[in-house]
């Protein structure tokens, strides 16, 4: 019984479609244990499922959240990313960095997943042949995020060709995120979608969040909420002819970082294509960027 209590304290649900997670009984909201979730609503629907709080794939139902939860709890729920494609709910271990349950033996540490089923993703690595002609068709996409407070968060992205000429840039207010790592993964996804919308088929995604790029490149895995965003990243890889993901130091990612800071102060998003803002012109110039 003591071991069971320890496990119950350390495990949490990662939401996929929400069809197997109980709203008021399971541990699934970041930093809010089930006893704190209990409200008067539990007397009406004690077995309510999380899927009833989702309006459409990948979108929380804001109206439903405001009915059942106080603003502080609702904001924590909104920080949880939802799968864009149908995916079952799963368990993860909150007391390890990668979400896996750790069992220590006398000889070594072995890692086991606390769940009946876990299908390991085959993370796609796309090796790029660096011929000069191919490099001329390749776009560099730098991404970053900024978290100035729990509610002031933003992502930024700049797309350049091999000469450093800017195709476009974007600064966007980001939704609340449960962790900085999750916010950084959201920035990678936003950059990929921006590049796709501008029809950049051959891209190199760069950012300074090393843990996120390790996840995307398959060097590590995570059962935490960030894994849901990584799944979304992997799901749109096939929409590019060629794509790679590369970690770079913060000092070489300052344009995207500045854009992310701008995004954290916006109420929506700002896109620069043919024009640009004085807010970013200096940092663009210092990085050798020019608008075409």
Q: pLDDT tens digits, residue range 143-182?
A: 999 998 877 899 999 999 888 888 899 999 998 877 899 9
pLDDT band at 26; cut points 50, 70, 90: confident
107 found inside a domain: yes
The chain-wide mean pLDDT, for the chain, equals: 78
Is pLDDT of 85 > 70?
yes
Which residue, 130, 155, 131, is CA-closest to 142? 155
Higher pLDDT, 23 or 280: 23
Q: Are residues 269 and 156 in the same domain?
A: yes
Q: Are residues 283 and 143 in the same domain?
A: yes
Q: Are residues 107 and 180 in the same domain?
A: no
Helix pair angle (278-286, 254-264), 10° resolution: 160
Q: Are residues 183 and 237 in the same domain?
A: yes
> Which residues contact residue 275 at a Cβ distance below 8 angstroms, ignoring those fewer than 6 apart?
291
24 found inside a domain: yes
213 found inside a domain: yes
124 found inside a domain: no
Is pLDDT of 112 > 50?
no
pLDDT band at 106; cut points 50, 70, 90: very low
Q: Are residues 147 and 248 in the same domain?
A: yes
246-282: pLDDT as tens digits: 999 998 899 999 999 999 999 889 998 865 666 667 7
Higher pLDDT, 76 or 277: 76
86 found inside a domain: yes
Higher pLDDT, 98 or 22: 22
Q: State which of 51, 84, 112 marks the end of a domain.
A: 112
Q: Are residues 179 and 55 in the same domain?
A: no
What residue numbers bound the domain in which 159 lies?
A: 132-291
Give me the number of domains the chain comprises: 2
Q: State which of 112, 141, 169 marks the end of a domain.
A: 112
Is pLDDT of 239 > 70?
yes
Q: Are residues 142 and 184 in the same domain?
A: yes
123 found inside a domain: no
Q: Are residues 37 and 161 in the same domain?
A: no
120 found inside a domain: no
Instruction: State pTM to two decimals.
Output: 0.70
119 found inside a domain: no
Q: Are residues 139 and 108 in the same domain?
A: no
Which residue, 272, 281, 54, is CA-closest to 172? 272
* pLDDT for res 95: 64
Is pLDDT of 115 > 60?
no
| CA pair distance 34, 48, nearest whole angstrom | 13
Q: Are residues 70 and 156 in the same domain?
A: no
Q: Are residues 85 and 149 in the same domain?
A: no
């Amino acid at each position: 019984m003591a071991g069971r209590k320890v496990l119950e304290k350390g495990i949490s649900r990662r939401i996929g479609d929400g069809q197997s997670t109980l709203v008021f009984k399971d541990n699934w909201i970041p930093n809010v244990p089930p006893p704190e979730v209990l409200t008067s609503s539990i007397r009406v629907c004690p077995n309510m499922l999380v899927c009833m709080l989702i309006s459409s794939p990948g979108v929380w139902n804001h109206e439903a959240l405001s009915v059942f939860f106080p603003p502080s709890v609702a904001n924590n729920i909104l920080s949880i990313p939802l799968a864009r494609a149908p995916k079952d709910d799963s368990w993860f271990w909150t007391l390890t960095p990668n979400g896996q349950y750790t069992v220590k033996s006398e000889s070594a540490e072995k890692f086991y997943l606390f769940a009946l089923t876990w299908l390991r993703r085959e993370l796609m690595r796309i090796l790029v042949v660096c011929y000069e002609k191919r490099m001329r068709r390749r776009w560099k996409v730098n991404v970053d995020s900024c978290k100035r407070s729990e509610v002031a968060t933003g992502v930024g992205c700049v797309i350049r060709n091999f000469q450093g000429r800017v195709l476009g840039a974007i600064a966007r207010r980001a939704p609340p995120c449960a962790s900085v790592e999750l916010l950084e993964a959201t920035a990678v996804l936003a950059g990929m979608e921006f590049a796709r919308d501008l029809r950049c088929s051959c891209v190199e995604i760069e950012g300074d969040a090393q843990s996120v790029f390790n996840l995307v490149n398959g060097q590590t895995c995570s059962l935490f909420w960030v894994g849901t965003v990584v799944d979304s990243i992997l799901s749109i890889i096939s929409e590019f002819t060629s794509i790679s993901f590369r970690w770079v130091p913060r000092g070489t990612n300052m344009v995207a970082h500045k854009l992310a800071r701008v995004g954290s102060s916006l109420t929506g998003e700002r896109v620069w294509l043919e024009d640009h803002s004085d807010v970013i012109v200096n940092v663009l110039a210092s990085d050798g960027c020019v608008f075409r």
